[in-house]
Structure 1
Amino acid sequence: MLSYQIDTFGKPLAQVIRETPQPQGSEVLLRVGSCGVCHSDVHLQDGYFDMGGGNRLDMARAMQPPRTLGHEIAGTVVAVGPEARGVAVGDRRVVYPWIGCGRCTLCTTGDEQLCNAPQALGVHRDGGFADHVMVPHPRVLLDYDPLPEDQAATLACSGLTAYGALKKIDAPGAGDAVMIIGAGGVGLSGIRLAREMFQRPPIVVELDRSKWDVAREAGAGELIDPSADGALKALVKATGGGVAAAVDFVGAPASFDFGFGALRKGGKLVCVGLFGGATSIVPAMVTMKAVSVVGSYVGSLAEMQELLAIARAGRLPAMPLTAQPLAQASQALDDLRAGRIRGRTILHP
């Protein structure tokens, strides 16, 4: 079994060859066909998330190296444990990776992605930057036919994160505008889904104009450069007082402030991105504008099933993808860190 692992935080991934594991109990062994590279993988390789003001969220407590990254996984079942039911050798499946303990209130009410004792693949358990991955139970293996395997893999995080965030928006009225901030991998998923879920194409805010073409292809309406003089003021005026909802897929101080400032009275800002940094909120403005700010972290298993139904019905444009061999996993992370990726990079063992 070949894998590329974090051996030491802040260092390139290490190539590891070890005996291929055999599934026990309810476990299922997948031969990985496709694994997406996510921006959170960059933070995990670095070993921290930037909290702003020189503060860091140290990942050493949550993730103990060595660890194989990769949580956007699709592949083929090659072995099943004696207690695994509902899956057979040869089945092609995409993995729901955000696995919880299965016992706490969050898990039993369907929000296992928020579990305080998580078992997420690619974070707390070895993930898909490998030619095989062990999945603890067949319930998290979902049929993706007739989707291409590469596209199906992106739904496990990029697609699911966007879908979970957009579901937190109250259905906008015919005259209401929805704004998406960021046209990276997750932002593009949000744009594609917003066209499916809402009546109007979303306004898209993207600093990097080289991403505007792919944003338009995904279904963006108006595109805005937030660094342009008077951009926020012009947006508020053009929308008759601001947008009904903004989804920040970047998670930087500037993107959060732009999203908050663009809200109309009674609007909602959904925070998704993990870029890093810190900002301030004036409590009086929250009160006087009666706005709400909510967080959204990936999505539930039920939401992934809903998303797959939309995608399998052919109702989503394809995500722009770049394929690379698994051996280039470290380079793919460096490219993502440097902002050189358009859409999603998929690793192939």
Structure 2
Amino acid sequence: MDSYQITRFAQPLEKRSYPTPALKGREVLVKVQACGVCHSDLHLWSGYYDLGGGKRISLTDRGATLPFTMGHEVAGEVVAVGPQGDASAIGRFGVVYPWIGCGQCDACRSGHELRCETPRTIGTRKDGGYSNYVVVPDARYVVGYGPLDPRVAAIAACSGLTAYSAICKLPPLTKDDHVLVIGAGGVGLAAVSLLSHLTPARIVVADISEAKRQGAIAAGASAAVSNEDEARCTEAVKAICGGSPRAVMDFVGTQSTGQMALGLLGRGGHMIVVGLFGGEIAVSISMLAMRNITIQGSNVGTLEELEDLVELLQDGRIEPVPIASRPMSEVNDVLAELLEGRAAGRIVLAP
């Protein structure tokens, strides 16, 4: 088994070879067809998450050990199962649901794995898909993708699922409502494509990149503006919406985008924060109540939501975001492109 691993944080990944893993219990071995490169991989690669105000979450302090194999957007074929595994799963082509809990706590036992405090997330806690094989705890976490392109199936596990789950948290919308999407990278662009099919609301996009703004228009946005200057962006959005948007979805998650999103909310406005770039914003507690404002975080999604999303993608009505294919051997080049903001759409690696 060949894996591209972090051996030192913020340094190029190294290719290392290991014996094919021996499976235990209900584990299954998935031969990787495609693995998406997600922006959150940059945080893992750097070794920390920025919490704002000079505070960080160190992955080492959270128990991360090196070497480690990233990659949580995986599509592939089940080629082996453990001694208590479901043998009928062998030969299944599916997308791996990576957001797996410990399986023992109250949250997991009640079917709420995303609330688990000690998860076994593939690609962030357990070795992931920057490899030619990945071990999955149970066959039920390999969702058959049917006629889908495996590259499209792979990115459904995170960027697609993250966008879909965030949209599911929106309040009821009408054709007279506007939704502002901040950030038209891989996840934001997926949200635009899904929003145009799942809601009647008009979609406005803010991004500093002209190319990404054009991509958002092609994906279904009715308008796109630059957010390089916060004040001008706010003015432009309000002009387009005829006031405040009904909801703002921040797929960047910096101090400036968060503050702009909050400032744009009208009475009863709903702000959903998805991006993880870091920082902190000032919030008036009184104004939350007086203006009935909702600020909600959204991180990835449930297994059931992934199953629903895959079914939705299979009917062919939703145009997938642009996908570039690269060999796994170019993973360090891809990470550099992502870090420098040069990647449009999504990049998927193949062993």
The TM tier, using the shorter chain, reads over 0.9
SS in 1 for 2:89: coil
State the 1:283 CA deviation: 2.5
1:171 maps to 172
1:23 maps to 23
Unaligned runs of 5+ in 1: none
1:325 maps to 327
Judging changes above 3 Å, is the alpha-carbon distance between structure 1 residues 223 and 288 closer, same or farther for their aligned structure 2 residues?
A: same
Give the Cα separation in 2 of the matches to 1:291 and 1:135: 40
Of the structure 1 ranges 169-178 and 140-149, higher mean CA displacement relative to structure 2 is found in 169-178
State the 1:335 CA deviation: 0.9
Q: Is 2:33 the partner of 1:33? A: yes
2:256 maps to 254
What are the Cα deviations for residues 252-297 of structure 1, in whole angstroms up to 9, with x where unaligned? 1111112112212101100110011222122233233221101111
SS in 1 for 2:257: helix
1:212 corresponds to which letter in structure 2? R
1:125 maps to 126
1:252 corresponds to which letter in structure 2? T
Give the Cα separation in 2 of the matches to 1:315 and 1:213: 21
How much is the aligned-residue C-alpha RMSD, in angstroms? 1.5
Q: Any conservation in 2 of the 1:87–1:138 contact (CA below 8 Å)?
A: no
1:306 maps to 308
Give the Cα separation in 2 of the matches to 1:214 and 1:230: 21
State the 1:237 CA deviation: 4.3
State the 1:130 CA deviation: 0.1
Give every structure 1 segment of 4 or more consecutive aligned residues whose post-TM-superposition deviation is greater than 4 Å. Answer: none
Give the Cα separation in 1 of the matches to 2:330 and 2:242: 48
TM-score of the aligned structures, taking structure 2 as reference length: 0.96
SS in 1 for 2:77: strand
What are the Cα deviations for residues 187-231 of structure 1, in whole angstroms up to 9, with x where unaligned? 011011101110034111111112122112211111011235533
Give the Cα separation in 1 of the matches to 2:88 and 2:300: 25
2:317 maps to 315
Give the Cα separation in 1 of the matches to 2:240 and 2:348: 39
Give the Cα separation in 2 of the matches to 1:281 and 1:344: 33
Give the Cα separation in 2 of the matches to 1:86 and 1:221: 48
1:44 maps to 44
SS in 2 for 1:230: helix
How many percent of aligned residue pairs carry the same amino acid? 40
Could you tell me which of 271, 286, 289 is aligned with 1:287?
289
1:218 corresponds to which letter in structure 2? A
Judging changes above 3 Å, is the alpha-carbon distance between structure 1 residues 86 and 158 closer, same or farther for their aligned structure 2 residues?
A: farther
State the 1:86 CA deviation: 6.4
SS in 2 for 1:189: helix
SS in 2 for 1:279: coil
What are the Cα deviations for residues 109-160 of structure 1, in whole angstroms up to 9, with x where unaligned? 3331231010000111100000111111001010101110001000000000
Q: Any conservation in 2 of the 1:110–1:300 contact (CA below 8 Å)?
A: no
State the 1:9 CA deviation: 1.4
Of the structure 1 ranges 275-284 and 70-79, higher mean CA displacement relative to structure 2 is found in 275-284
Q: Any conservation in 2 of the 1:177–1:239 contact (CA below 8 Å)?
A: yes
2:294 corresponds to which letter in structure 1? S
What are the Cα deviations for residues 87-113 of structure 1, in whole angstroms up to 9, with x where unaligned? 433221110000001222322333312
Alignment of 1:234-245 (within 5 A): 234-245=236-247
Judging changes above 3 Å, is the alpha-carbon distance between structure 1 residues 315 and 104 closer, same or farther for their aligned structure 2 residues?
A: farther
Give the Cα separation in 2 of the matches to 1:81 and 1:287: 53
Of the structure 1 ranges 264-273 and 167-176, higher mean CA displacement relative to structure 2 is found in 167-176
Q: Is 2:101 the partner of 1:100? A: yes
Could you tell me which of 267, 272, 275 is aligned with 2:274?
272
SS in 2 for 1:277: coil
Unaligned runs of 5+ in 2: none
SS in 2 for 1:202: strand
2:47 corresponds to which letter in structure 1? G
Judging changes above 3 Å, is the alpha-carbon distance between structure 1 residues 179 and 334 closer, same or farther for their aligned structure 2 residues?
A: same
TM-score of the aligned structures, taking structure 1 as reference length: 0.96
Of the structure 1 ranges 285-294 and 147-156, higher mean CA displacement relative to structure 2 is found in 285-294
Of the structure 1 ranges 302-311 and 211-220, higher mean CA displacement relative to structure 2 is found in 211-220
Give the Cα separation in 2 of the matches to 1:200 and 1:231: 20
